[in-house]
Structure 1
């Protein structure tokens, strides 16, 4: 068995773990990253990437903005479509110029992996049999079997659990010590990646009596479209002709708008759930990203919450090593959870307003349409949506920044 000594052991090479490693390295803090998947697997996992203004700014500050600026698509608004009408929410006008950027999550991961490799610090792919030990002591360890088959141990000061909901980090916290909340939604998203011309300059969120639909983009020639489906649906049940019929129906309008079909290169079904593990710290273990929380994709918050977590965690760890001040570590969970619950609510609200629920009656339908109509008529309501969508300021979670209504 080989033993490696480092300051921070990072379990998981998703956006949370990789960005944490980059932020720590900028502070002169050593880390080791381990990941159960291969590099090819994590770089090829296609997921949506709507980046908040905060996320874009932080990636640029961390030296990760070159390709993002060159290839990302900046959007200043979104479209809400209902009752065969389309109304635009001007995000930038309502939030003092803030915007979102579409840049796929796997592209973010490619940039982060490249930065990690350039730093020369260790990253181990394809590991298995990961175990976290001695978390309630000042000398925690991470044991695993490397891709080559040999057993290895990381001795460290802190463990960052960034390995997602199905990883070992969260479940390494004793069940009696974990406080968790979850909600499953009675539908999923059927997604396609299609080679076709740009269907819309900005995202279209559509509410239809048959269910939700979303028009997104990846590039001028590659589009991403989703529609609500049954949670137990299968890709095989949706041949191309059926997919196109459903999308045309749900996206129809009275203004002549349409989109061109193309060659579908990928089909997948996205599960819909909300989850929060409020125990984001256990001894020297700190959870971040999907290991601690999951949001339905309607609010576009998953990646952005991971970034917010590791921004807090990296600053707290840096303060520990620089001055011995552990106040940031002690308040990490509470401060992170303030943003987590805000984003959970926003994502739930967007989901509830736009999707068709089983057994939905005319009363519920009219409530949804009234809410959507109000959003497009009221500046105050539109502003609330806009400021949550582009991302609340970093200092929003600080108690002294929320003085309440005067």
Structure 2
């Protein structure tokens, strides 16, 4: 087989890249290690920046998003004593859209299938080759049969544990990482959300988040130790702990119900530099991870895809390598700003057991400054709705 761009990974980054390239007349094939059902079974967050919504419009995969997505003009920050609504639209002229990442993936899959594009699922032992030369290719197996996919470029959209970054020569990439001593215990339940907008809560017992997937399905989180055993958490225990971390008026409004999914997500910050190696390009979680606090994971992947898709289209349509040559630098500038914001929100809202009394007072002062300063709220809003590409 031969294609112009071989894409490794059929998560939202790989699918979005493939669809944008197709719309621009650039041929591509996606190679995925897991089954289609497995990919669609992964439950992830879904706060979309306007930039991502615009890219989905460009990819012709946004009809259902515009029908079912929940547009949020504001977000709440809460402590036990106070609640603050930050009017993001008033401060920036922008909003965010709540729409599950699984649904984004489903819509992109449907658009790809409708376009007749090739996605190879259930592949094994994929390996990128010769990406430092002029003729890169992928080898992999399907049902035990060896396959080869020749291409002009390889896009590694295969996540943190994917083969593309792992296949790089030792010493070719520098990594930066911070692992947090806690995770998020999340519960998905078919109950109406406590608020029509997200509530991020800071409390002496730890962080909590009130979120939603729709007007009838809620997603709630509480901070737990990194080594917490999920089996120790019954639904009743979760709801009780959630309410303890919310302002009393919010806690009283929480509707409880049986969980339909319960999981613990570890928190880490991670960046690999650079994001280009000859004709191999990394995008999304293959190159960086952010704590979910700032809602930047999926949006950063879309940012990478924006830069990479435009660079590849420029290469084929204008015979220019400028976009490809600057891809890593452009992507990383935005990545590090999002890493900073996600780290800042995590530091602001979570309880750190190792923090001394001085650190605790600083955290309280930081929260008070956000609550009392319109300039601080404008900075928060600018970052939360998404910095420009």
Q: TM-score, normalised by structure 1?
A: 0.94
- 1:397 corresponding residue in structure 2: none
Structure 1 residue matching 2:78: 3-state secondary structure: strand
Q: Structure 1 256/68 Cα, relative in aligned 2: closer, same or farther at 3 Å?
A: closer
Q: Where do 1:119-134 residues align within 5 Å?
A: 119-134=115-130
- 2:106 corresponding residue in structure 1: 110
Distance 1:375 1:11 in 2: 41
Tell me the CA shift for residue 62 of structure 1: 2.1
Q: Where do 1:308-327 residues align within 5 Å?
A: 308-327=303-322
Distance 2:121 2:53 in 1: 27
Gaps of 5+ in 1: 395-406
Q: Structure 1 76/285 Cα, relative in aligned 2: closer, same or farther at 3 Å?
A: same
The ranges of structure 1 where at least 4 consecutive aligned residues each deviate by more than 3 angstroms after the TM superposition are: 254-257
Tell me the CA shift for residue 149 of structure 1: 2.3
- 1:402 corresponding residue in structure 2: none
Distance 2:330 2:95 in 1: 24
- 1:53 corresponding residue in structure 2: 50
Tell me the CA shift for residue 235 of structure 1: 1.3
Which of residues 349, 361, 371 in structure 2 aligns to 1:376?
Answer: 371
Moved more, 170-179 or 348-357: 170-179
- 1:73 corresponding residue in structure 2: 70
- 1:231 corresponding residue in structure 2: 226
Q: Where do 1:210-249 residues align within 5 Å?
A: 210-249=205-244
Gaps of 5+ in 2: none
Moved more, 214-223 or 371-380: 371-380
- 1:350 corresponding residue in structure 2: 345
What value does the CA root-mean-square deviation take over the aligned residues? 1.1
Distance 2:241 2:252 in 1: 16
Deviations for 1:17-44, whole angstroms, at most 9, x for unmatched residues?
1100001001111011011111011111
Tell me the CA shift for residue 374 of structure 1: 1.2
Which of residues 27, 30, 55 in structure 2 aligns to 1:30?
Answer: 27
Q: Structure 1 314/255 Cα, relative in aligned 2: closer, same or farther at 3 Å?
A: closer
Structure 1 residue matching 2:181: 3-state secondary structure: coil
How many residues in Structure 1 have an aligned counterpart in Structure 2? 389
Tell me the CA shift for residue 364 of structure 1: 2.2
The answer to whether 1:194 aligns with 2:189 is yes
Distance 1:6 1:57 in 2: 27
Structure 1 residue matching 2:213: 3-state secondary structure: strand
Which of residues 8, 13, 36 in structure 1 aligns to 2:10?
Answer: 13
Maintained 8 Å contact 2:132/2:279: yes
Maintained 8 Å contact 1:85/1:254: no
- 1:265 corresponding residue in structure 2: 260
Deviations for 1:329-383, whole angstroms, at most 9, x for unmatched residues?
0000000000000000000000000000122333222222221121121111100
Structure 2 residue matching 1:365: 3-state secondary structure: helix
Distance 1:6 1:359 in 2: 52
- 1:93 corresponding residue in structure 2: 90
Deviations for 1:99-127, whole angstroms, at most 9, x for unmatched residues?
00000000000011111111112100111
Q: Structure 1 377/137 Cα, relative in aligned 2: closer, same or farther at 3 Å?
A: same
Distance 1:353 1:389 in 2: 14
Q: TM-score, normalised by structure 2?
A: 0.98
